[in-house]
């Protein structure tokens, strides 16, 4: 009798073992949590002949249970959540038999006071409960049955934990994939932008990359350039932003602003276009652009990492756009330099070359401009009756305006040269023309004189120019040629310019110069070269040829100023043979 009962038990446990083995294999191999739970419930219900059963899954965040599976009449519906007010201890029990164990358990299944709760747990986590109703015969579960279901519960818990981990892994993998793709996008675009100089295209690519990467439909992009803000690109936007509104957007405190009711009220454009977030973009630590984006079309919220991506992409685009502006600026500058070089060539051409030769005079002249084009002018011209005209002038200011005026003066001089009028009259006419044609802050200091080789007379007019120096051959003191009148171009000619005539003798020395000579500065810019030093230099070198004297002066200035030239330098040296 006992042996047959043993045999029965043995067969029974072998059957249970087989079930356990098969079930465990099936469950462990499955990565589908739903499948695992469903099978656990069906197998136990079938094995134990229980007609009601549920799987409760613990939701740690909300500290409640969701009914994941529910079979049988009068069981709560699937998807419902329930909270229990029980001790922590309950979650640590492997099995709780209601009505048998000493725990106060809620009545989950109507009219059933003998439910059994099997804990679904791994070593770390409480997953939930398998809750079985009473058996058809109202008998409590026996030891054997409890152990069997416990074993199944443990196997299932491992399977659930696995599938959870698998799901989590898949989620993380996908997130990583997206991150990698975002990085690739940034990397690709930085390469693309680098080779682009077309601003429009950079902006267009930037727009599409934003829309595509984040599933954005509403988008606008405002760029500030040279104090002007302009909407450079939009998608799905209607209406316009006023200048005041742009100012408001640009003065938002944070680089990232999520649009709220208050801001929508202030700027209705944002509400009308369903703009969700505003992102300020920077170039060299200054906010120079702003992007507004609407909701993502897949209804996902923007995460902080999404915002980071949008900002990185935006800053990249702004950097590339700024680069195009800088490039344009440089091209423009190069073009202007090129033009200045051409102008310099033209201006050089206006100066006498070669210097006319005279038997009676030893002449040396040179002009060193500090700028690309300058305002210094000198001329030596052959006038009718073998006479020789010398002129030197300095136009106020530097650069292109001075050069233009200098060219103008040169033209007038050449036109007036053959006309038979006195130097004084001619100076008056030139003054009137310059006065009429130039603004009052533009004027010219000018000196000119005519040498007559027949009688060695030198007739001159000085219109406010640094007085040329006359060093008579046997004198120790220099004379200055000051006679004349006002600077050219300041007022119309009221009183005629006065002429003076001197007679030159052998070895007399005449030096014409511009203020670049006497106003040359020392290294610390604390002192000027000055007239006295110029006089000394001339006296010291009076025995040399004009060429040598000129070179000596230039050398002296250069050593004084340590080769730093602030202004044009023009010198004419004339020695009477």
Partner 1 sequence: MKNFKINHREVQSYDVLELCGELDAHTASQLEDSLKRLIDQEKHQIIVNCKQLDYIASAGLGVFMAYIEDVRSLGGDIKLTNMNPKVYNVFDLLGFPSLYDILEDETDAIKKFETDEAES
Residues at the contact surface with partner 1, assessed by CB under 8 A: 174, 177-178, 181, 185, 188-189, 192, 201, 204-205, 207-217, 235-236, 296-298, 300
Give the position of tokens 């670049």: 516
User: How far, in Å, CA of 352 to CA of 365, rounded?
Assistant: 9
DSSP state letter for 506: T
Which of 192/507 has CB closer to partner 1? 192
Which of 205/252 has CB closer to partner 1? 205
Q: Which two tokens stand for residue 108?
A: 């989950």
Measure Cα distances from 475 to 101, 478, 479, 514, 536 in Å. 137, 7, 10, 24, 13
Neighbours of 547 (CB within 10 A): 15
User: How far, in Å, CA of 337 to CA of 423, rounded?
Assistant: 38
Which of 40/318 has CB closer to partner 1? 318
Smallest distance, partner 1 to C-beta of residue 217, A: 6
User: How far, in Å, CA of 59 to CA of 81, rounded?
Assistant: 9
Which of 210/403 has CB closer to partner 1? 210
Smallest distance, partner 1 to C-beta of residue 233, A: 10
Q: HSE on the CB side for 366, CA within 13 Å?
A: 13
Q: HSE on the CB side for 126, CA within 13 Å?
A: 21
Smallest distance, partner 1 to C-beta of residue 174, A: 7
Smallest distance, partner 1 to C-beta of residue 213, A: 4
Taking alpha carbons only, the member of 119, 51, 132 closest to residue 90 is 119
Smallest distance, partner 1 to C-beta of residue 296, A: 8
Which of 203/368 has CB closer to partner 1? 203
Which of 247/272 has CB closer to partner 1? 272
Taking alpha carbons only, the member of 132, 131, 119 closest to residue 160 is 119
Smallest distance, partner 1 to C-beta of residue 291, A: 14
Q: Could you tell me if 52 and 133 are in contact, meaning their C-beta atoms sit under 8 angstroms apart?
A: yes
Smallest distance, partner 1 to C-beta of residue 369, A: 48
Which of 297/346 has CB closer to partner 1? 297
Smallest distance, partner 1 to C-beta of residue 211, A: 4
Which of 298/577 has CB closer to partner 1? 298
- Which element (helix H / strand E) includes 46? helix 33-48
Cα-flanking dihedrals φ and ψ of residue 512, to 5°?
-100, 140
- Region of residue 350 (phi > 0: left; psi between -120 and 50: alpha; otherwise: beta): alpha
């Amino acid at each position: 009798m006992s042996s047959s009962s043993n045999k029965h038990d043995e067969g029974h446990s072998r059957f249970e073992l087989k079930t356990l083995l098969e079930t465990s294999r099936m469950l462990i191999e499955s990565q589908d949590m739903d499948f695992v739970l469903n099978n656990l419930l069906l197998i136990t219900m079938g094995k134990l002949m229980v007609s009601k059963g549920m799987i409760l899954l613990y939701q740690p965040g909300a500290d409640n249970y969701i009914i994941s599976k529910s079979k049988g009449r009068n069981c709560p519906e699937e998807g419902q959540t329930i909270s229990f007010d029980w001790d922590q201890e309950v979650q640590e029990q492997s099995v709780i038999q209601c009505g048998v164990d000493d725990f106060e358990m809620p009545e989950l299944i109507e009219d059933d006071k003998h439910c059994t709760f099997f804990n679904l747990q791994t070593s770390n986590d409480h997953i939930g409960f398998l809750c079985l109703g009473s058996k058809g015969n109202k008998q409590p579960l026996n030891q054997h049955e409890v152990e069997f279901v416990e074993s199944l519960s443990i196997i299932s818990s491992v399977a659930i934990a696995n599938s959870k981990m698998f799901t989590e892994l898949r989620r993380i993998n996908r997130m990583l994939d997206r991150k990698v793709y975002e990085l690739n996008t940034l990397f690709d675009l930085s390469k693309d932008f680098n080779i682009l100089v077309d601003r429009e295209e950079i902006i267009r690519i930037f727009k599409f990359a934003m829309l595509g990467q984040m599933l954005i439909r509403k988008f606008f992009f405002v760029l500030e350039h040279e104090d002007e803000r302009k909407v450079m690109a939009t998608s799905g936007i209607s209406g316009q932003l006023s200048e005041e509104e742009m100012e408001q957007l640009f003065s938002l405190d944070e680089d990232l602003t999520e649009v709220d009711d208050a801001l929508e009220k202030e700027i209705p454009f944002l509400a009308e276009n369903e703009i969700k977030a505003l992102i300020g973009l920077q170039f060299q630590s200054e906010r120079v652009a702003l992007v507004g984006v609407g909701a993502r079309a897949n209804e996902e919220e923007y995460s902080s990492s999404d915002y980071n991506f949008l900002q990185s992409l935006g800053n990249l685009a702004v950097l590339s756009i700024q680069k195009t502006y800088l490039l344009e600026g440089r091209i423009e500058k190069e073009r202007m330099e090129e033009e200045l070089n051409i102008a310099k060539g033209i201006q050089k051409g206006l100066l006498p070359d070669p210097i006319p030769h005279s038997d009676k005079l030893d002449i040396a002249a040179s002009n060193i401009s500090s700028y690309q084009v300058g305002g210094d002018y000198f001329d030596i011209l052959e006038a009718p009756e073998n006479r020789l005209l010398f002129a030197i002038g300095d136009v106020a200011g530097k650069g292109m305006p001075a050069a233009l005026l200098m060219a103008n003066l040169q033209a007038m001089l050449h036109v007036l040269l053959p006309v038979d009028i006195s130097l004084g009259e001619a100076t008056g006419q030139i003054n009137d023309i310059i006065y009429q044609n130039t603004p009052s802050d533009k004027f010219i200091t000018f000196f000119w004189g005519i040498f007559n080789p027949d009688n060695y007379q030198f007739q001159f007019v000085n219109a406010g120019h640094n007085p040329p120096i006359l060093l008579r051959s046997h004198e120790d003191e220099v004379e200055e040629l000051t006679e004349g009148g006002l600077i050219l171009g300041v007022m119309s000619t009221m009183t005629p310019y006065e002429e003076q005539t001197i007679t030159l003798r052998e070895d007399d020395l005449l030096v014409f110069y511009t203020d670049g000579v006497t106003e040359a500065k020392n290294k610390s810019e604390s002192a000027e070269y000055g007239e006295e030093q110029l006089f000394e230099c001339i006296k010291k070198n009076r025995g040399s040829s004009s060429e040598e004297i000129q070179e000596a002066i230039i050398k002296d200035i250069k050593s004084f100023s340590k080769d730093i030239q602030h202004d044009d330098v023009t010198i004419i040296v004339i020695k009477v043979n």
